[in-house]
Structure 1
Amino acid sequence: MPHTNSQYAKDRKVSRPGKKPAFLNKAKPKKLKSSTTASLSSAKSDVVDSAPVDPTIPANRQEQTALIRAFHAIEKKLASPGLTSPEERKKLLDERERLGGLKTYQDASVHGGDKSRGGESSKWLVKQIRDLKIGLDVNKEKEVKKVEPTILEDGTKVWPKIERRKLRLLDVGAIAGTAYAGYPWISTTSIDLNPHASHVLKYNFFDFPIPHNDEEKYDIVALSLVINFEGSLVNRGHMLVHAHNYLLPNGYLYIVLPLPCLTNSRYLSHDRFSSILNSTGWDVVRKHDSAKLTYWLVTRKEGEGAKGDGKVWKREEVRSGVGRNNFVIVIKPGTEAERGVANAEEVYAKAAEKEE
């Protein structure tokens, strides 16, 4: 029945079927970006916008990703123990230079081609930090103390502001240092062999100064897509042991690897990697596999196993078959980190030139 006595009401309703009166159409409120998302986007855009435009870097996101994958494929072949031919190694090095070299790879990462390089992996870590309340127990004793307010002349009570200690994080291989820029409660120290921002310190992980007291130590050391880029198999293992030196007794180590390093390697699997971590003084707290990456958050063991059991882990086949990769982590306790591994490629290249 029409909502009015007008004889034309029924005709009006028929002429506009399903149409609501204007006053019933409520405008949907616009979604606002959270302060964290906005600050993270701003921090990353500042670095990208300030970086000089390199003509060798594709403007298209898909082409950037393809470029990065090409670099990954070359690095994988260079690190393979089966690569013994100086000529073949020289071809790979030439191909890497043709693509623009390491600098071009890092520039492409900064410009957003490799989302997993920091951006996506940092989000997973931040979620675990919040879930596990990492770093909050440091302030537990201070928070238990009774806090008294200051009473003003008019009787108003003014409560003192309690300053929380920021969570301290050492980000190794940070490139431009934007991964944790959007989280003001995280105090990040960023290091990289080839930094792309002034606040990123130029250091090899093994040369970065070791803290002497708990005030200088970190809650978390992040090795996101770092171990797989280390050419020395022994140094990969040394990284797991060396990380202990920078952490508080209850500190955490965060590791991100390409998923095929564990699912398609001849020498490494999830179970074997977990055993290696246990042997080097770590308890697995959280782990997660995405379509392309594997994420591991581990914490330091307590007591006698704090720095590992001293076991040697050699290259041992865990799965056979064609099409496997050769990624492996070797543990040699009591030995020093290998030096000059990055320059070994130049030696192979010169050897190939002499043979020609």
Structure 2
Amino acid sequence: MRPVSVKDRVAKEKQKHIKGLKGNKLIRHYHNLLKEKSRLVSSHAPVKQIEDVEQQLEAIGIDAYQKASQNGQNNRKGGDSSKILVDWIRTDPNLYPKHRDTRPQQILEIGSVCVDNKCSTCGLFSVTRIDLHSSHPLIQEQDVLMRSPKEGIFDGISCSLVLNFAPPNLRAQILLKCTQLLHPPNPTHPPWFFFVLPAPCVNNSRYMDESTLHSILHRFGFTLRYSSVSKKIAYYLYAYDHPCSTNLSWKKKTVHDGPSRNNFFIPCLSS
């Protein structure tokens, strides 16, 4: 019998580790692998290193990842972030004016993983759902950066746990695209932008805190209305109440230091 090589043993251990991942651990591992692949590609790493990461992604599978994401959105587990959105919208007559014809607001849900969350069932909204990998016939498979305003303009956009998933060089582009898919800014009854990030992106990053985040979002025309930060998740609701700046350039500065910090940041469009 041929002895098992070190390479084969390592591969087997990785497979065993992946099979043991469930729920949020699987989601985090999948996201980390995508970030690692992006880093390797941008740094022109050896093809074998990139292929190794791709094999790990394939071992998890997009179906398993989406199932874990859907379970995280399960109402019974308290994972539906849109419940917070609905509560905030209902209490703010400026963000949800009472139409005479009781017309529901047209909203876009980016990174949609289910069709029965609170924003889909509350009666306030007519929801257009998109995701890079659709898991349901009512979710359109589409990259938001490829979406044209001609396909529809919205009263509000939900962008929940999307930007942390995107490559750093695309994060500002996604924010800019959102301004193009919303109705024009209005100081009285503004369109809105619901933005959700993992809490460590704003409370444990070397380069980002809430002040930095709100300053960047303000350049795009977004003014903070409501916020709530739990141990794991940060929720923000912004009003699109002033025009997007023509100067979308800012510097990456260290706001917190320490070995346990992460590197989350939203680089400017010109970087």
Q: Which residue of 2 aligns with 1:199?
A: 138
Amino acid corresponding to residue 183 of structure 1 in structure 2: C
Q: CA 1:78–1:269 in 2, change beyond 3 Å: closer, same or farther?
A: farther
Aligned to 1:132, the other structure's residue is in SS state coil
Which protein is bigger by CA-based radius of gyration? Answer: 1
Q: Which residue of 2 aligns with 1:174?
A: 112
The answer to whether the 8 Å contact 1:170/1:188 transfers is yes
Q: Which residue of 2 aligns with 1:38?
A: none
Say whether 1:63 aligns with 2:22.
yes
Amino acid corresponding to residue 168 of structure 1 in structure 2: Q
Q: CA 1:289–1:136 in 2, change beyond 3 Å: closer, same or farther?
A: closer
Say whether 1:93 aligns with 2:54.
yes
The answer to whether the 8 Å contact 2:160/2:194 transfers is yes
CA distance in 2, matches of 1:121, 1:93: 30
Shift of 1:65: 3.3
Amino acid corresponding to residue 228 of structure 2 in structure 1: H
Q: CA 1:118–1:257 in 2, change beyond 3 Å: closer, same or farther?
A: farther
The answer to whether the 8 Å contact 1:77/1:83 transfers is no
Amino acid corresponding to residue 64 of structure 1 in structure 2: G
Amino acid corresponding to residue 84 of structure 2 in structure 1: W
The answer to whether the 8 Å contact 1:267/1:319 transfers is yes
CA distance in 1, matches of 2:249, 2:177: 16
Match for 1:330 among 242, 264, 267? 267
Aligned pairs for 1:21-100 within 5 A: 63-79=22-38, 84=43, 85-86=45-46, 87-98=48-59, 100=60
Task: Output the TM-score relative to the length of structure 2.
Answer: 0.79
Shift of 1:253: 0.7
Q: CA 1:169–1:119 in 2, change beyond 3 Å: closer, same or farther?
A: farther
Say whether 1:183 aligns with 2:183.
no
Q: Which residue of 2 aligns with 1:222?
A: 158
Match for 1:237 among 146, 159, 172? 172
Amino acid corresponding to residue 125 of structure 2 in structure 1: I
CA distance in 2, matches of 1:218, 1:202: 18
Q: Which residue of 1 aligns with 2:10?
A: none
Shift of 1:113: 4.1
Amino acid corresponding to residue 187 of structure 1 in structure 2: S
Amino acid corresponding to residue 254 of structure 1 in structure 2: F
Identity %: 27
The answer to whether the 8 Å contact 2:73/2:81 transfers is no
Q: CA 1:326–1:88 in 2, change beyond 3 Å: closer, same or farther?
A: farther
The answer to whether the 8 Å contact 1:68/1:114 transfers is no
Aligned pairs for 1:133-144 within 5 A: 133=93, 136-137=96-97, 139=99, 143=100
Shift of 1:94: 2.5
Instruction: Describe the superposition over 1:69-107 as per-residue Cα deviations: whole angstroms up to 9, x where unpaired.
Output: 322333344455899443544433332222x23332012
CA distance in 1, matches of 2:33, 2:105: 37
Instruction: Describe the superposition over 1:88-144 as per-residue Cα deviations: whole angstroms up to 9, x where unpaired.
Output: 44433332222x23332012222x1455999521000000011113554262xxx4x
Q: CA 1:136–1:321 in 2, change beyond 3 Å: closer, same or farther?
A: closer
Q: CA 1:327–1:83 in 2, change beyond 3 Å: closer, same or farther?
A: farther
Structure 2: 5+ residue stretches without partners: 1-17
Q: Which moved more, 1:239-248 or 1:286-295?
A: 239-248
Q: Which residue of 2 aligns with 1:282?
A: 222
Q: Which residue of 2 aligns with 1:132?
A: 92
Match for 1:247 among 182, 190, 205? 182
Shift of 1:185: 2.9
Shift of 1:204: 0.8
Q: CA 1:83–1:307 in 2, change beyond 3 Å: closer, same or farther?
A: closer
Paired positions, count: 245
Aligned pairs for 1:283-322 within 5 A: 283-302=223-242, 306-322=243-259
Question: Runs in 1 of length 4+ with deviation above 6 angstroms?
Answer: none
The answer to whether the 8 Å contact 2:104/2:126 transfers is yes
Amino acid corresponding to residue 23 of structure 2 in structure 1: Q
